[in-house]
Amino acid sequence: MVISDLPDNYYTGKRTFVRIDFNVPNIEVDPDPPRIRRAIPTIDYLTSRKAKVILASHLGRPDRRPDPKFSLKPLAVRLAEILRTNVRFVDDCIGDKVKEAIGSMGNGDVLLLENLRFHKGEEACDEKFSSELASLAEIYVNDAFGTSHRAHASTYGMARHFEYRLAGFLVRGELEHLARIREAPDRPFLVIVGGVKIKDKLSALKRLIDKADKVLVGGCVAYTFLVSKGLSVGDSLVEQESISWAAEVLSKHGNKIILPEDHIVSTNADDIKGIHLVSGGIPKFLKGFDIGRDTSKRYAKEIASGNRTILWNGPMGLFEKEQFSHGTVDVARSVALAYLRGCTTIIGGGDSIAALKMADVSEREVTHISTGGSASLEYIGGKELPGIEILTERSILEPAATEP
C-alpha cells in the first residue's frame, strides 16, 4: 500500500512515523540534494492531511553512540527552509524526551528525530529498540529507498508492529523506474560499479552479474578483483573475505568483467606530491585512489559502444579530491552522452549523485537518478529488499492502528 491508498481524513491527528533517507553527508556543500528534495512530496501529502509527521533517518556510520559529527540537526534547518514551516528537532529518537515532543505536536506539524544509528539497536534490528520506535506512532511509512536493502530496526523491525505499513511516494517512484530494468533490461546492459562499500557492492554483483552483459569495475571494488587475479594492489582497500568469490566470478564470467589496467596512486590521500600513475599492479606501500588514464579511455569507449541500458553506482575514485576525480568525472560525462544518444541510464547512490554535480552533468542528462546505491543494485539484481517486502507482508506483531 502507498500513502495515497488510505482515505484522506484517516490521517487527521495521527502520529505518522516516516522513515526517510536523509543520509546526506555534505549538506553544507550541497544544500539541495535529490535525497531531500524527493522526500518532500510525501511530507507535503501527510502534513496537508493533518498528520503529525515524525521523520527519522540515519546519517553516516557513527560508532553506535551520539556523535555531533553525524547529527541530523542541520537537516532540520534545511528542511524547514524548503517546507517554509517550522520543523522541530529532538536530539534523540526514542525515550521520554521524544514522547514529550510528540505529545506537544499539533496536527500537520513536522518533527525530525536524531540519527537512528546513535543507538546500537538500529543496525542490530534489536527487538526492544524496534518496539520503542514503534510505540511513537500509529502509522508507519517507508520512504527511505536507499536503506531498504537493510533489515534494520527502522526499516524492518519496527514496521512489523503496525497494521498500516505504507510506501511513500519516493519509494513508489523508485520501484516503478527500477522494476522495468529488473524484469527485462534492454540489451546490451552495462553495469558500472565502484565506491567504497565493497562488501555491499560485491554482494549485489553476485546476482547482477548474470543479468549484465558487461561490468566495468572501479573504485575500491576493483582492488578485490585484482588481488584475486594475483596482482599486487599495495595498501589499497580490499575485502579479504570476498577474494575467493571474486576469483570464482572471474573464472566464470571473466569475459564480462573489465578491470582497471592503470591507477592513480599515492602513499595516502593527502600526499599530493606523491601522486603518480602506475600500470598493472600497485607497488608496495602505495594506495590506489582513482582509475588511470588508459582505463578511463577504455571505459569511455565501452560506455559509448551502443548499450541500451546502463546502471552506474559507485565513484571510480576518491572524487572528493580534485586530483582523484578524473576517472569519475569521465564516466559521468560518458554516461550522460550515452543517454543523449538514446540509452536508458540509471545512476544511483548518494556519492555517485554528488559526483554528477562535480562533473557538471544535470539531472536532465540521466533517465533516472536513484536515491539508492547498493539498494538499487540489489533490487535490479532480483533481490527482495527487506524494507520493501515488509510493507506487503501479512503478519502483524501488535496492531497499533484502528480501521480507517
Shortest distance in whole angstroms from residue 387 CB to Mg ion: 17
Beta-bridge mates of residue 111: 54, 88
Residue in the block written with cell 534523540: 92
Bridge-based pairing of strands 309-313 and 344-348 is parallel
Q: Which residue from 168, 260, 292, 349 is in contact with ligand ADP, where contact means CB under 6 A?
A: 349
Q: Could you tell me the three cell numbers for 396?
A: 502483524
Shortest distance in whole angstroms from residue 209 CB to ligand ADP: 18
End-to-end CA distance of the chain: give it in Å, rounded: 14
Calculate ∠ Cα 193-357-40, nearest 5°.
95
Q: Which is nearer to Mg ion, 288 or 350 (CB)?
A: 350
Q: Could you give the string, one character per residue 218-257, with x where binding to ligand ADP holds by CB under 6 A and - elsewhere? A: -xx-------------------------------------
Q: Which residue from 33, 34, 314, 381 is in contact with ligand ADP, where contact means CB under 6 A?
A: 314
Q: Which is nearer to ligand ADP, 40 or 196 (CB)?
A: 196
Shortest distance in whole angstroms from residue 374 CB to ligand ADP: 6
Residue 302: contacted member of Mg ion, ligand ADP, none (CB under 5 to 8 Å, by partner type): none
Q: Which is nearer to ligand ADP, 161 or 197 (CB)?
A: 197
Using DSSP, state whether 158 is helix, strand or coil. coil
Closest CA to 337 of 316, 314, 365: 365
Distance CA 294, CA 11 (A): 57
Shortest distance in whole angstroms from residue 259 CB to ligand ADP: 13
Label residue 175 exposed, middle or buried (CB < 10 Å: 0-12, 13-18, 19+).
middle
Long-range contacts of 66-71 (CB under 8 A, 24+ apart): 66/91, 66/114, 66/115, 66/118, 67/118, 70/115, 70/117, 70/118, 71/114, 71/115
Q: Could you tell me the three cell numbers for 118?
A: 546513535
Q: Is residue 387 near ligand ADP by the rule CB under 6 A?
A: no
Q: Is residue 197 near ligand ADP by the rule CB under 6 A?
A: yes
Q: Which is nearer to Mg ion, 218 or 350 (CB)?
A: 350
What backbone phi and psi angles, to 5 degrees, belong to 376?
-70, -45
Q: Is residue 313 near ligand ADP by the rule CB under 6 A?
A: yes
Q: Is residue 121 near ligand ADP by the rule CB under 6 A?
A: no
**Closest residue to bound Mg ion by CB:** 351
Task: Indicate the DSSP class of residue 16.
Answer: E
Which positions lie near Mg ion, rule CB under 5 A? 350-351
Stretch in the footprint of ligand ADP (CB under 6 A) among 39-47, 49-57, 188-196, 271-279? 188-196
Q: Which is nearer to Mg ion, 121 or 195 (CB)?
A: 195
Q: Which residue from 162, 164, 169, 319 is in contact with ligand ADP, where contact means CB under 6 A?
A: 319
Instruction: Please report, as ranges, the residues that interact with ligand ADP according to CB under 6 A.
Output: 194-197, 219-220, 288-289, 313-315, 317-320, 349-352, 373
